[in-house]
Structure 1
Amino acid sequence: MMLKTLTTAAGLVTALALSAGIASVAQAEMPDQINFGIISTESSSALEKSFSPFLEDMEKSLGVKVKPFFASDYAGVIEGMRFGKVDVAWFGNKSAIEAVDRAGGEVFAQTIKDDGSKGYYSLLIVNKDSKINSLDDVLTCDKTLTFGNGDPNSTSGFAIPGYYVWALNDKTPEDCFARVTNSNHEGNAMAVATGKVDVATNNTESIYARLAKSNPEAAANIKEIWRSPMIPSDPMVWRKELAGDAKQKIYYFFMQYGRFGDADKVKREREVLASMSDGWGPFLASSDAQLLDVRQIEAFKAKIKAQNAGDEAGVKAAEEKLKDLQAYAKIVGAAGY
């Protein structure tokens, strides 16, 4: 009996030692600092102001420094993740594809609006006094107008209008406008409001949530002339190379934020989320499957481009990619991301 007791005690000591060792390794897996990438939808100062309370809460929860990472364009945040300078980032769907394909990223969460809606819309906008009132007016393509396109890695500013406005109508912005520029949502909105460009891309979040609050006079000078089908709300992406323990802690922080705890905690966190970007609610679980819709749009655009160029191999490759994407969409689409 004594031998059995000693053996049991020894086993318990061993188990405790192993547990302590595992806990120590898990703790070591957490980096000293998490760099959080924020895409340039508006000025860095405005983004830093709206994200700071959330990042401070994230820092307290993870027990390590959480530092915001800004770049002048979306590509800068993608490259930051590619070279290990960004660990977690807020992207649009198009830029998330680049982060997943080129920068070792992986979607793990999805933003939603504070009213619970799970999507937003790409827009074409003009000045309120413009005689342009519809997409048909834009597609006259007489090259007398100027156009403010979005960041090439923007979903609503570039990819979605690139498909629905241009590819489906067998046109390009260069076919239609005397001058084409590129800017972020804020820059394009202000250019339209002040008459510096005639037509520009944008989205419902930027115009009706952010600009309407930050600069109501400018927002009042803008007229919407085209709206896309709904776009899935933005994804959150982490580096695949992050240690498992770090991912678990980050994932738990996102999923519990604004949901778990007493009423005062939940209320404060909901207020923090509502002040971020265009006004967010608690995050939803997600995966790379969220990107399927935009991937299919990109593949279709590649097919049209190849057809126009007489590139039979390119057409075949695009068709094969579309087929694979559609097959996968049937698997995951009904159940969500």
Structure 2
Amino acid sequence: MKRKLLLTLFVLLTLALVGCGKTEAPQTAGQPKTQQGPLRVGLVPNQAPDKIKAQYEPFREYLQKTLNMPVELFVASDYAGVVEAMANDKLDVAYFGGLTYVQAKQRAKIHPIVTEVDTETGTTKYYSLIIAPANGSVDAVKDIKGKTFAFGDISSTSGSLYPRFMLDKAGIKVPDDLKNAVYTGGHDATAQAVQNATVDAGGIEGRIMQKLIVKGTVDGAKIKVLEKHLVEGYPWVVRDSLDKGLEEKIVQAFLTIKDPTLLDLMRAKAFAQVTDANYAEAEQEAKRLGLVNPKK
């Protein structure tokens, strides 16, 4: 009788343990326990937001497959919206411009990990341009004094910060020395405004302008370049609290992209690692020109 009782208890205990094992699904390989839900990736709208989301859909698919976890893209209506989302812990990763990164790090604990190697310069830097209508009266940056100037988004690095830097170098203070400062919201809109001579000059990212010319959206013969300045590439940024193992996998996902079609979509020859020190000039000039809080 005792033997039967012990045998019955053993069988019941075994079944209970097997049942407990079935209630906990095995963890998916490559998905750290600390990352609950999808990886949330934010993108600055340096062109129309719907175009940006469509442009980066192949990257989302690549990242999702490489990391073996869901990835969601977020594009705000303006640059400030992406900063706000990161500051409120609604994003894990974000693609910022240099200025947007400087603004965001005053409000959120974040750091840059990689940027693109530019196809034109062969480095991590690209050109910010000041352009004017080809047949207009403005032939040099100094001629812009007293004229109408188009910036992109106020938080754009190559469409706002560095055009101000180049204007300041020519002795032109914004907005005091301009007839009017127009904010178009994006590089594509600035190119159109300059091409159509609705403004006397404008600030734009050089590689975006070249893409617009190649696509036929903008007529390059109607635009002249007055000055250009090298700018550190757009940083891909992560929040400091992101799991370090996952962060390293994200870095490696960028560094190992080989697909030429995907690289072209992302305006990159390749990717390289960067740190906060790469954006020291952007931070210094942004504080000097009043685009970020100088006391932070």
- Taking structure 2 as the reference length, the TM-score comes to 0.82
Cα distance in 1 between the residues matched to 2:30 and 2:223:
55
Q: In the alignment, what sits opposite 1:264?
A: none
Change (3 A) 1:215 1:80: farther
1:24 CA drift (Å): 8.9
Q: In the alignment, what sits opposite 1:297?
A: 285
User: 5+ unaligned residues in a row in structure 1: which ranges?
Assistant: 1-20, 259-268, 306-313, 322-337
Structure 1 SS opposite 2:46? coil
Letter in 2 for 1:86: L
Identity of aligned residues (%): 25
Q: In the alignment, what sits opposite 2:252?
A: 252
- Taking structure 1 as the reference length, the TM-score comes to 0.72
Q: In the alignment, what sits opposite 1:287?
A: 275
Structure that is richer in helix per residue? 1
Over alpha carbons, which structure has the higher Rg?
A: 2
Deviations 1:156-188 (A, max 9, x none): 11111222312x345323333332211221111
Contact 1:135 1:226 survives alignment (8 Å):
yes
RMSD in angstroms over aligned alpha carbons?
A: 2.6
1:192 CA drift (Å): 1.3
Letter in 2 for 1:171: I
Contact 2:144 2:200 survives alignment (8 Å):
no
In the alignment, does 2:37 pair up with 1:47? no
User: 5+ unaligned residues in a row in structure 2: which ranges?
Assistant: 1-25
Change (3 A) 1:156 1:25: closer
In the alignment, does 2:134 pair up with 1:128? yes
Q: In the alignment, what sits opposite 2:21?
A: none
Cα distance in 2 between the residues matched to 1:90 and 1:250:
13
Deviations 1:251-289 (A, max 9, x none): 22112222xxxxxxxxxx12211122xx21221011111
Q: In the alignment, what sits opposite 1:99?
A: 104
Q: In the alignment, what sits opposite 1:153?
A: 155
- Alignment of structure 1 residues 132-211 onto 2, 5 Å: 132-139=138-145, 141=146, 145-166=147-168, 168-183=169-184, 184-208=186-210, 210-211=211-212
Q: In the alignment, what sits opposite 1:272?
A: 262
Change (3 A) 1:156 1:217: closer
Deviations 1:224-265 (A, max 9, x none): 12222x11122110111212232122122112222xxxxxxx
Structure 2 SS opposite 1:89? strand
Q: In the alignment, what sits opposite 2:3?
A: none
Structure 2 SS opposite 1:27? coil
Cα distance in 2 between the residues matched to 1:137 and 1:256:
46
| Runs of 4+ displaced beyond 4 Å | 21-26
Cα distance in 1 between the residues matched to 2:144 and 2:127:
19
Letter in 1 for 2:108: A
Contact 2:31 2:69 survives alignment (8 Å):
no
Contact 1:124 1:227 survives alignment (8 Å):
yes
Letter in 2 for 1:198: D
In the alignment, does 2:40 pair up with 1:35? yes
Deviations 1:12-59 (A, max 9, x none): xxxxxxxxx999997312332112111111112322232111110100
